[in-house]
Amino acid sequence: MTTNTIPPLEESIEVAVDPETVWALISDLTRMPRWSPQVRKTWVKGGTTRQGVRFRNLNRKGLLFWPTKAKVVAFVPNQKLAFRVADNYAIWSFTLEPSGTGTRIIERRETPDGISAVSEKLTKVVLGGQEGFTEDLRAGMRQTLARIKADLGG
């Protein structure tokens, strides 16, 4: 069962390196705990990120920990990596666009099929409500992108 969709969240950052260099970094999902303020651990089935691979995250906010399961739904080298979270139906993606000075990295969260009723209830009861959680996600996206940029050399 799903509920209403939530407007997409999107943040971006410019980095002074080519898309191939960015791709080499972000296409390894096991690095996500290094960048995301929410993800604490990532396990990729078989160890290699690729189209269709399934993986798990352990997430944290304050004293609360929760696992998620996801599947890579888009894997276009040097262009796009996207995964769908099974627990709430959200699709997260990183899109790389060449720019005059390097690459624009776009991180996006969308819910084209709505979010699960269970996820909506847990967000309301445990995570401070959809509005507050959405702002946490947006801030986390900015932090994730800034950390990726730092790992790429600034």
Encode 138-153: b = buried (16+ Cβ within 10 Å), e = exposed: eebbeebbeebbeebe
Amino acid 124: pLDDT: 67
Binned at pLDDT 50, 70 and 90, residue 126 comes out as low
pLDDT in tens, 62-112: 888 989 999 999 999 999 999 999 988 999 999 999 998 999 999 999 988
- Going by C-alpha positions, the residue among 149, 153, 122 that lies closest to residue 11 is 149
Q: Predicted confidence band at 1 (pLDDT cuts at 50, 70, 90)?
A: very low
Output the CA–CA distances (angstroms, integers) from residue 145 to 31, 34, 127, 141, 148, in the order listed. 13, 11, 23, 6, 5
Sign of CA dihedral 144, 147, 151, 154: positive
**Alpha helices (H) in 27-79, listed in sequence order:** 32-35
Torsion of CA 34, 39, 41, 47, to 10 degrees: -80
Q: Which two tokens stand for residue 17?
A: 């390196």
The pTM for the full model equals 0.88
pLDDT in tens, 23-63: 999 999 999 999 999 999 999 999 999 999 999 999 998 88
Q: Parallel, antiparallel, or unpaired for β 64-76 and 39-44?
A: unpaired
Question: Residue 13 has what DSSP assignment?
Answer: E
Sheet holding 64-76, edge to edge: 9-15, 102-110, 91-99, 80-85, 64-76, 54-61, 39-44
pLDDT: which is higher, 100 or 11: 11
Q: What's the confidence (pLDDT) of residue 68?
A: 93
Q: Which residue has the higher pLDDT, 121 or 112?
A: 112
